[in-house]
Structure 1
Amino acid sequence: MNKPTVVVCDHIHESGLEILKNTSDINYVYAADIDKTALLDVIKDAQVCITRSSTDIDEKFLNAATNLKAVVRAGVGVDNVDIDGCSKRGVIAMNVPTANTIAATELTMTHLLSCMRKMPYAHSQLKDQRVWKREDWYGQELYGKKIGVIGFGNIGHRVALRCKGFEMDVVTYDPYISSTKATDLGVTYTTNFDDILDCDIITIHTPKNHETIDMIGEKEIAKMKDGVILINCARGGLYNEEALFNNLKSKKIAMAGIDVFNKEPAINHPLLDLDNVTVTAHLGANTVESQFKIATQAANNAIKSARGIGYPHALNLPIDETKIPSFVKPYLELTQKMAFLIAQMDKSEIKSIKIEAEGEISNYLDSLETFAIVGALTQSLGSEKINYVNATFVADEKGIKIESSEQSNNSAFKNQVTVKITTNKGINSTSGTIFEEDVQRIITINDYMMDIEPTGKMILLSNSDVPGVIGNVGTILANEGINISDFRLGRNKNGALAVIIVDDEVQSGTLEKLSNIEAARSVSYAQI
């Protein structure tokens, strides 16, 4: 089978490039430095591309990329990605929404403090003009001020927490969250937008869409207090820029901290002429730590999609993620990985796939079914023939019976998903759960208790529970030059199952040597 090709269209941190270079089962092409017209020739063979903001994934690009299966936007915003165009062509579009969370949060606080104390102007007067006039720079304290946070997602809620640390009165407006998400943190939750407009300071942290473009305009500003301070480190156009300019000029708005503009680069923007605005050139993600996280996550997401085993943070799946709770998404990906693992343990023809769910996740069995089918059939069909759209149809066409059921929650976990795959050789099953918000764990394989992160290269050795097996395994792998990074052992009355996580590729000859261990019952190799 030909290796899938991943093309990097724009500059990303070297850490991400190293991951791609060192992944043996993909072809990696670096095309960030070539002309965008020449890029159209390069991407014709790509299954996956990684882009930032310099490359438009538009009709011309998609027409050229005839083999494209997935697009990874190395960042949060996808303004340069034609999501509808991708969907029509069966291309999965993904972003990396959380890697710059801390960086954007801290930049928001930087603008907030700069506006309150007019720091850039005080700095410039002393450093550039060499003028010492303390009386020019009477600022305001954050303590006791009321701040309105529009949008209480990954960044908004972290801004709120930091404002609480300054002993501010924090109010948030976000119709898409449960009120307890805010109130549990000591933040006031409101459904009345006028409560936000009544605040001393307002900061916005929403995506850019038809609901949020020009969310703050002349009408909203007219309701605000005289001397209000506005912050926007989210997306350009959330504040109507003409209204923002007019009201900054009249001093209705005392100060504004702006990192993002409607059209960028904004080197000639009228806001730059005002003396009551702090501006930066879209620096929300510009920290060393953030760029490292963005690049590594984008690279790993590209590898997963190239292998067809997962599409983290996909934006155009046939499941409307805006209508499912955030806790569901990690379970969908985990279910696909578990099915993919089982399919590698037994590569014979699949007769049936069964999904069992315990807890609240059982309300989403239809979605779990889709992801389980994709995971189970990717091993045999390849990612080019099975996807979330055609999964059920392909399973039906192959005569594979699909079942799902809600189970009584008798486990120690709040939610649990079990995947059982029947072939003409027998039944294999695995169960998993999510710890915290998105920490995936496999907790059983064929009734053996485990605690495994579903990622990496794995040898699965079923054996009689007798002395010497672990030593024999270690000796064989050492002789083969294969390094063991982790070793997990499950035991029950029937024997033992070892899951050996290794750093190196495992060849069939090595598996044959392991199967010749006297106590061995079965040996398989999986890569997730």
Structure 2
Amino acid sequence: MKKRILIPEEISSHLINNLSADFSIDYQPKFTAKEILEVIGNYNIVIVRSKTKITSEIINAGKNLELICRAGTGVDNIDVEAATRRGIPVMNTPGGNTIAATEHTMALILSLCRHVPQANISLKSGKWERSKFNGTELYGKTIGIIGLGKIGREVALRAKSFGMSVIGYDPLISKEVADQFEVELCDYEKLISSSDIITLHIPLTDDTKNIISASTINKLKDGVKIINCARGGLVDEKAVLDGLNSGKISGAAFDVYTEEPPKNLELINHPKVVATPHLGASTEEAQEKIAIQLTEQIKAWLYNGKLEGCVNAINLKYINDEKVKPFLELAEKIGIIHSQILKGNFVKVMLNCYGSFLSKYLYVIKAAYLKGLIQNLASPPINYINSILIASEMGLSVEEKILPADKIYSTLFSATVVTNSESLTISGTVMLNNNSLITAIGDYHSEIKPEGNLLLYYNQDKPGVLSKVSAVLASFNINIAGLSLSRLGKGLDAMTIINTDEVVEQNVINELMKVEEIRKIYSIRFS
């Protein structure tokens, strides 16, 4: 009997035609979430684009569900964690819409600079308003690209062909990689203050949400133009509207919105805004590429047991292995710590696994570490399957070594990251009770569990510093759950790591920096 596929939204006919010989396909493009929930138990595979949300409720109701497929890149409309718990692979098709999204970005930039939509409407209404639509040339202008992944790089190449100066911001890209695309790598502050046009090509994460905000707009070049073809939520839409009304922003173009369909019609209808209904991947060619790629992946799964393009496959293999799982979690958390305290662009990573046990799992430990390091900085969504590949594409050099057991710990994982401005080594182990410990950060020994929230600070070793810090935390009702102290010598530099029950927000950091002995301080979140 053929396996059954449910497709509950509009999708390319190429995909249906390519799969119809091998599967029983039920194409229901108008299905509601309630209707999906009622029938999902009858299907082995579900295929969606971006509209349909595959929730944990739907996944848990899918008693026969074996595979969840996203015909596109992002999987934010699929509860991947719930699928992983059920042992269901989640498959996507990264790269299929790169050219389509790139060309749509350029179409919006040109439309914005030459007022094409507005002039078209004016002429069709019987008017001849040439002077009203005086445009702006791209030649000689500076375009700032936030995010230099596949789409950002393709935009850079096309911008260069228009004679533009191209600058880019991406913490994962090395200067050598940026040079290949003739992009001047710079920090975020320089990009937003120097660009005539800013275009975004990054994923939506806690770190990138509202990356263009009211405070950012105050630092922008007067008359800047902003384009968002990436993800809704990267731009504070109200702040952009205020910037358009004040004249700080001369134009904006949107293909994606915080809420879709958008309800902020004041922004959509603004005379200086060009808006399209999430068309970045909507080309015949892109949909055909995605259809071909997804067909090949599904058939490889069916006939050869291969899990290509899966965002949770390796995780599925090891997630229930009680011996390996704690080390994967440790490696990922060390990567998260590195990502949140290091400054500059990542250049090189060196991973050391001490002991014979870890040598067997070096590849997946490497994948787990890189997932933690780059998961909030890269697109598509980073997981154990694609973290190594994405890191490589970003030009991040990764070296790994298997070494004899450490003198103190029989199994030890150590990671060193070199940026263009600093380097830092963090080590950790898993104890017999499966509790993880960070054993060293740089030259400082520690014994702290990497869980919840961490407050890490460096200070001059003097009596009373901890009590001052504790007092500040208490004043903000932040509870201390754990503590590790280390120093280089009496009266010299010291490091303190504190587990806190609550996140230490920036306003608390600002207050703590008033403690004169503290030199640097970091708030680290693992969620």
Superposition map of 1:189-228 within 5 A: 189-228=185-224
Aligned residues between the structures: 333
Task: State how far apart, in whole Å, the 2-side matches of 1:90 and 1:226 are.
Answer: 52
Say whether the 8 Å CA contact 2:194–2:221 is kept in structure 1.
yes
* SS of equivalent residue, structure 1 residue 6: strand
Instruction: Give, in angstroms, the shift of residue 92 of structure 1.
Output: 1.8
Counterpart of 2:376? none
Task: State how far apart, in whole Å, the 2-side matches of 1:141 and 1:364 are.
Answer: 54
Give the one of 276, 282, 287 matched to 2:272.
Answer: 276
Task: State how far apart, in whole Å, the 2-side matches of 1:184 and 1:364 are.
Answer: 34
Instruction: Give, in angstroms, the shift of residue 9 of structure 1.
Output: 2.6
Task: State how far apart, in whole Å, the 2-side matches of 1:294 and 1:304 are.
Answer: 15
Counterpart of 1:133? 129
Task: State how far apart, in whole Å, the 2-side matches of 1:144 and 1:172 are.
Answer: 16
Counterpart of 2:76? 79
Q: Deviations over 1:224-260 (max 9, x none)?
A: 1110000001111101111111111111100001111
1:124 to 2:117 alignment: no
Q: Deviations over 1:355-413 (max 9, x none)?
A: xxxxxxx999634999xxxxxxxxxxxxxxxxx99xxxxxxxxxxxxxxxxxxxxxxxx
Code of the aligned partner of 2:208: T
Structure 2 alignment gaps of length 5 or more: 316-327, 333-358, 368-382, 385-527
Instruction: Give, in angstroms, the shift of residue 41 of structure 1.
Output: 4.1
Q: Deviations over 1:164-214 (max 9, x none)?
A: 000100001111223222111211112344334321110000011112111
Structure 1 alignment gaps of length 5 or more: 324-361, 371-387, 390-528
Q: Deviations over 1:257-290 (max 9, x none)?
A: 1111000112553202311110111111111111
Task: State how far apart, in whole Å, the 2-side matches of 1:308 and 1:298 are.
Answer: 15
Q: Deviations over 1:447-473 (max 9, x none)?
A: xxxxxxxxxxxxxxxxxxxxxxxxxxx
1:233–1:35 distance in 2 versus 1, CA, 3 Å: closer
Counterpart of 1:95? 92
Code of the aligned partner of 1:39: I
Say whether the 8 Å CA contact 1:74–1:95 is kept in structure 2.
yes
1:15–1:247 distance in 2 versus 1, CA, 3 Å: same
Task: State how far apart, in whole Å, the 1-side matches of 2:310 and 2:165 are.
Answer: 36
Superposition map of 1:93-172 within 5 A: 93-128=90-125, 130-172=126-168
* SS of equivalent residue, structure 2 residue 289: helix
Give the one of 45, 60, 71 matched to 1:63.
Answer: 60
Counterpart of 1:30? 27
Say whether the 8 Å CA contact 1:4–1:306 is kept in structure 2.
no
Counterpart of 2:287? 291
1:12 to 2:11 alignment: yes
1:40 to 2:18 alignment: no
Instruction: Give, in angstroms, the shift of residue 35 of structure 1.
Output: 4.8
Task: State how far apart, in whole Å, the 2-side matches of 1:216 and 1:294 are.
Answer: 31
Q: Deviations over 1:409-445 (max 9, x none)?
A: xxxxxxxxxxxxxxxxxxxxxxxxxxxxxxxxxxxxx
Instruction: Give, in angstroms, the shift of residue 217 of structure 1.
Output: 0.4
| Segment of structure 1 superposing worse, 300-309 or 46-55 | 300-309
1:20–1:368 distance in 2 versus 1, CA, 3 Å: farther
Say whether the 8 Å CA contact 1:146–1:201 is kept in structure 2.
yes
Say whether the 8 Å CA contact 1:147–1:200 is kept in structure 2.
yes
Say whether the 8 Å CA contact 2:314–2:364 is kept in structure 1.
no
**RMSD, matched Cα:** 3.1
* SS of equivalent residue, structure 2 residue 238: helix
Superposition map of 1:173-322 within 5 A: 173-266=169-262, 268-307=264-303, 309-318=305-314
Code of the aligned partner of 1:22: A
Say whether the 8 Å CA contact 1:50–1:302 is kept in structure 2.
no
Say whether the 8 Å CA contact 1:48–1:68 is kept in structure 2.
yes
Task: State how far apart, in whole Å, the 2-side matches of 1:312 and 1:364 are.
Answer: 20
Code of the aligned partner of 2:80: I
Task: State how far apart, in whole Å, the 2-side matches of 1:33 and 1:216 are.
Answer: 35
Say whether the 8 Å CA contact 1:101–1:154 is kept in structure 2.
yes
* SS of equivalent residue, structure 2 residue 274: strand
Task: State how far apart, in whole Å, the 2-side matches of 1:97 and 1:366 are.
Answer: 22
1:52–1:138 distance in 2 versus 1, CA, 3 Å: same
Say whether the 8 Å CA contact 1:115–1:255 is kept in structure 2.
yes
1:157–1:33 distance in 2 versus 1, CA, 3 Å: same
Instruction: Give, in angstroms, the shift of residue 295 of structure 1.
Output: 2.5
Say whether the 8 Å CA contact 2:252–2:273 is kept in structure 1.
yes
1:53 to 2:42 alignment: no
| Segment of structure 1 superposing worse, 275-284 or 32-41 | 32-41
* SS of equivalent residue, structure 1 residue 155: helix
Instruction: Give, in angstroms, the shift of residue 122 of structure 1.
Output: 1.4
Task: State how far apart, in whole Å, the 2-side matches of 1:173 and 1:231 are.
Answer: 15
| Segment of structure 1 superposing worse, 83-92 or 200-209 | 83-92
* SS of equivalent residue, structure 2 residue 150: coil
Percent of aligned pairs with the same amino acid: 39
Code of the aligned partner of 1:254: S
Superposition map of 1:127-526 within 5 A: 127-128=124-125, 130-266=126-262, 268-307=264-303, 309-318=305-314, 366-367=363-364
Instruction: Give, in angstroms, the shift of residue 313 of structure 1.
Output: 2.5
Task: State how far apart, in whole Å, the 1-side matches of 2:51 and 2:182 are.
Answer: 41
Task: State how far apart, in whole Å, the 2-side matches of 1:34 and 1:254 are.
Answer: 41
Runs of 4+ deviating beyond 6 Å: 362-365
Say whether the 8 Å CA contact 2:214–2:239 is kept in structure 1.
yes
Say whether the 8 Å CA contact 1:5–1:306 is kept in structure 2.
no
Task: State how far apart, in whole Å, the 2-side matches of 1:4 and 1:367 are.
Answer: 31
* SS of equivalent residue, structure 2 residue 134: coil
Q: Deviations over 1:40-76 (max 9, x none)?
A: 3432143321112332210221121123232111122
* SS of equivalent residue, structure 1 residue 53: coil
Task: State how far apart, in whole Å, the 1-side matches of 2:10 and 2:71 are.
Answer: 10
| TM-score normalised per structure 2 | 0.58
